[in-house]
Amino acid sequence: MENYSFPHTIRIGSRKSQLALVQTHWVKDRLQNQFPDITFEVHTISTQGDNILDVALAKIGDKGLFTKELELAMLNREIDFAVHSLKDLPTCLPEGLILAAVTKRENPADALVVHEKHQDQQIDTLPAGAVVGTSSLRRLAQLRHHFPQLVFKDVRGNVNTRLAKLDSGEYDALILAVAGLQRLGMVDRIHQVLPPDICLYAVGQAALGIECRHDNLPVLSLLKLLEHQPTCDRIIAERAFLRELEGGCQVPIGVHTQLEADTLTLIGLVASLDGKHFIKESISGKSSEAESLGIQLAENLRQQGAQEILNQIKAEQYN
């Protein structure tokens, strides 16, 4: 590490949700252990996505719903860096900000969580007409493709709010991220981990993305110690794939990446909202070429009609 003059206090920006704070304090604790002479403070900020809970995410907009206010605070020097769920971080960041570090990824899969009356069921044995809650168009499109007999209903709020709605009988099941439930100590609520042949996950899911000003060199040097290179290689490919398709978080784009030695395999998916049009393909290459692999896979899917699907979805959202 270079011989920087470090500030006495470093301010970390976080959303106010329980999960966001768990993730932020995980980062804070690791930095505090390595740099005991620096005080790390957590500053919570409400984002647009946190404040608007009565409207489906797809109808609000898809760029920076959970990050914009934190980014403004960084640019205004009110905080020094921000901890995000990487899947919430847009692929194009505001001028002056960079993705400073990517942490080791947890299990990125999605989980089926069921009402107690369905404890003996799996996703493929839920009765026809069962109401499944999800606010993700990516999950919605894939599950509609595989299970058209189920009914899907939007659900918003933090994890505890969603689980309360499930337990009250408003839903028969929910689809939630495995990693979020793990981080909240709710592993017992995971009824089934959905395999990739049923549901590809969101770009960046289960990894934390730490965003910082590009000129804040002392803090950037600290954050690099949190970087997990194998995860970073996977994330570079995934985000390049998403960026090339110009898809925000509210379009049905899914991925699955594997890294074996220096070989990176990326599976990408674009689906229509009704699940009837489904384009899926994979690509493999050296992990050092992660970005170009993501770009090439996006082009391969575009040639098979992915752009037409995405254009149709965007047209429907703006009408």
For the annotated catalytic residues, the residue numbers are 88
> Cβ(263)–Cβ(236) under 8 Å?
no
Give the Å distances, CA to CA, from 34 to 11, 30, 43, 226, 319: 16, 6, 20, 11, 51
Using alpha carbons, select from 277, 268, 224 the residue that is nearest to residue 244: 268
What helix, strand, coil percent values describe the chain, rounded to 5?
40, 25, 40
Q: How many Cβ atoms sit within 10 Å of the Cβ of residue 51?
A: 9
Euclidean distance between CA atoms 258 and 264, whole angstroms: 6
Contacts (Cβ under 8 Å, ≥6 apart) of 314: 251
Evaluated on CA atoms 16, 178, 40, 210, the torsion sign reads negative
Q: Give me the phi and psi of 298, to 5 degrees please.
A: -60, -45
Euclidean distance between CA atoms 266 and 258, whole angstroms: 7
Contacts (Cβ under 8 Å, ≥6 apart) of 63: 90, 248
Beta strand 81-85 pairing with 9-14: parallel
Euclidean distance between CA atoms 270 and 40, whole angstroms: 41
Give the Å distances, CA to CA, from 281 to 21, 206, 237, 260, 307: 36, 22, 14, 19, 14
Strand, helix or coil at 61?
A: coil
